[in-house]
Amino acid sequence: MRVTGNVICNNLKRNLSNNLRSLAEMQDRMASLKAIRKPSDNPAGTVESLRLSSRLKECKQYQTNAGNAISWLESTDDALGNLTEILNRAYELTVYAANGTMTPEDRQAIADEMQQVIGEVEALANATHSDRYLFGGTNTRQKPYEGGAWNANTQSIYYEISAGVLLPVNLTAQEVFLEKDLLGTLQSIYGHMAAGDLDSLSGSDLENLQANIDQVLSCRAQAGARLNRLEMTMDRLQDQELNFTTLQTNVEGLDIARAVVDLQTQESVYEASLSVGARVILPTLVDFLS
């Protein structure tokens, strides 16, 4: 093949262009701190990076679900805690009212307080979390107890906290209030206080009220057990997120030390090619005639 000045210049320009392109790619890689900027950089690594990215998104969504479930159950636990305190007060009032030495006026005063207790229990039946009713089942937009009637259903609300793992987060009015007829028990006690029925107050009323207290405590234990599970799940999901993030960084992250060395090497190569080019394009006769 005949080598002419044009051939030498074209080869020089092509090599300079290739070296400059490599230098630009390394500079771009250093600026982005990513070894994979497009699929062609590493097809196998791109597939692995996309898989890990998908797992990370799933993990973060499960964390969001678990966080929402924890928030719901914490609100439920608060409501059940308040309900337990109120029922304990109702138990004390019932014991006081069953005392035969009390005057009718004293017993009426206790009955008046019991009426307030009933009102507070009715309010707790309509406890909310983020404008959603806790004890309404899946009917979270309508008051569970209104006008002396129950509007709640017995269906559970589920949150997916892991792949294929659904956890019920709500306790229904049926479980908390209707299983032992809580409001009916309190209203019966109020009636017996007003009527001075000491036998009922000291007998069946205390037994029924204790059964309701035990039922509320059982519901609170369920909420606590679910909270403990969710907290363990949240810890596991956070560990998974850290592991997936580390793996993704290993796949698509840039080895800074090696990248700096490669960049410096490529800069030297480009500078050398420029020096060689200056020697290749030698002066011609025209340079001396001008």
Please count the CA atoms within 13 angstroms of the CA of 140 that sit on its side-chain side: 15
290 confidence band (pLDDT: 50, 70, 90): low
Residue 263 domain-assigned (yes or no) = no
Give the pLDDT confidence score for residue 8 in this predicted structure.
64
Residue 129 domain-assigned (yes or no) = yes
- Residue range(s) defining the domain that contains residue 173: 51-248
Residue 229 domain-assigned (yes or no) = yes
Residue 289 domain-assigned (yes or no) = no
Residue 29 domain-assigned (yes or no) = no
Q: Which tens digits make up the pLDDT trace of 204-220?
A: 999 999 999 999 999 99
Residue 40 domain-assigned (yes or no) = no
- Of 143-147, 265-269, 270-274, give the range with the top mean pLDDT: 143-147
For residues 86 and 123, give the distance between their C-alpha atoms in angstroms, rounded to a whole number: 12
263 confidence band (pLDDT: 50, 70, 90): low
14 confidence band (pLDDT: 50, 70, 90): confident
CA 250 distance to own-chain centroid: 26
For residues 139 and 148, give the distance between their C-alpha atoms in angstroms, rounded to a whole number: 17
Q: Which tens digits make up the pLDDT trace of 41-66?
A: 667 767 787 788 889 999 999 999 99
92 compared with 252, residue with greater pLDDT: 92
52 compared with 235, residue with greater pLDDT: 235
Residue 15 domain-assigned (yes or no) = no
User: What's the token pair of residue 261?
Assistant: 């060395």
Give the pLDDT confidence score for residue 259 in this predicted structure.
61
* Under 8 Å between Cβ of 161 and 169: no
38 confidence band (pLDDT: 50, 70, 90): low
Residue 187 has pLDDT above 80, yes or no: yes
Mean pLDDT of 128-138: 95
Per-residue H/E/C for 48-85: HHHHHHHHHHHHHHHHHHHHHHHHHHHHHHHHHHHHHH
Backbone angles phi, psi at 55, to 5 degrees: -65, -35
For residues 270 and 27, give the distance between their C-alpha atoms in angstroms, rounded to a whole number: 13
Query: 166: domain CATH number?
Result: 1.20.1330.10
18 confidence band (pLDDT: 50, 70, 90): confident
Give the pLDDT confidence score for residue 265 in this predicted structure.
75
Q: 3-state DSSP: the chain helix, strand, coil percent, rounded to 5?
A: 75, 5, 20
* Under 8 Å between Cβ of 83 and 124: yes
Token pair 């006026």: residue: 105
Count of domains forming the chain: 1
* Under 8 Å between Cβ of 206 and 91: yes
**Burial of 55 per CB tally in 10 Å (0-12, 13-18, 19+):** middle
Residue 264 domain-assigned (yes or no) = no
Give the pLDDT confidence score for residue 206 in this predicted structure.
95
pTM: 0.76
